[in-house]
Amino acid sequence: SLRETREISVESSFDMNVTLDRDLTAGDVTNLRLETGEWGMFRLGYRIRDRVEPYIRLGWAHLKAGWTDIESGKNAEITTRSGFAWGLGMKALIYEFANSNIRIVGDGSYRTADLDVEKGYFNGAKNAISKINSRFVIREWQAALLAVADIDFSAMSDCEEALGPYR
């Protein structure tokens, strides 16, 4: 066990994120909004001394966005195909309360996807889109402050052997 010999542990999870109606920014359009967004990402982290955990995310994303074109004034919408997404992040222990299992943790992350456009609409009418010349790149940065508590399930059950090492 890396955790027992070197105070290092490997953490993994699968994160599923669904976004509804988020405002975005871009240089050449106005009123850009993400109408729906779906992200499914496998996360692999490397926790060091229970203090810092850098991690990577690999998975997929599928997005639907709308905006107003500055030159023509037309409303545009696109739907993307599901495509590859990746991200990086870092969690760090900020404060641990004495005589308690509650910790305050900071989490900062970046994720991105470069997706092919599947369908396009101008003013509600479906338009042909050049799938070779069209793409939708999204980049997100996120910062979070979390309160974390461990619950020892073995203390709640007579099955101490089965639940002993899990929290």
pLDDT at 156: 63
pLDDT tens profile 18-42:
989 888 777 666 788 888 999 999 9
Place of tokens 């790149």: 137
CA contacts within 13 A on the Cβ side of 23: 2
Of the two residues 1 and 151, the one the predictor is more confident about is: 151
Q: From the CB of residue 105, how many other CB atoms can be counted at a distance below 10 Å? A: 17
Q: Which residues contact 88 (CB under 8 A, 6 or more apart)?
A: 54, 55, 56, 57, 109, 110, 111
At 148 the pLDDT is: 84
Q: In angstroms, how far is CA 36 from the centroid of its own chain?
A: 14
Who's near 145: CB < 8 A, 6+ residues apart?
Answer: 94, 104, 105, 106, 107
Q: Which tokens is 119 given? A: 């369908």
The 10s digit of each residue's pLDDT in 86-139 is: 999 999 999 988 888 788 999 999 999 999 888 888 888 888 777 777 778 889
pTM of the full predicted structure? 0.76
- Average pLDDT across the chain, whole number: 83
Alpha-carbon span 111 to 42, nearest angstrom:
12
When pLDDT is cut at 50, 70 and 90, the band that residue 3 belongs to is: very low
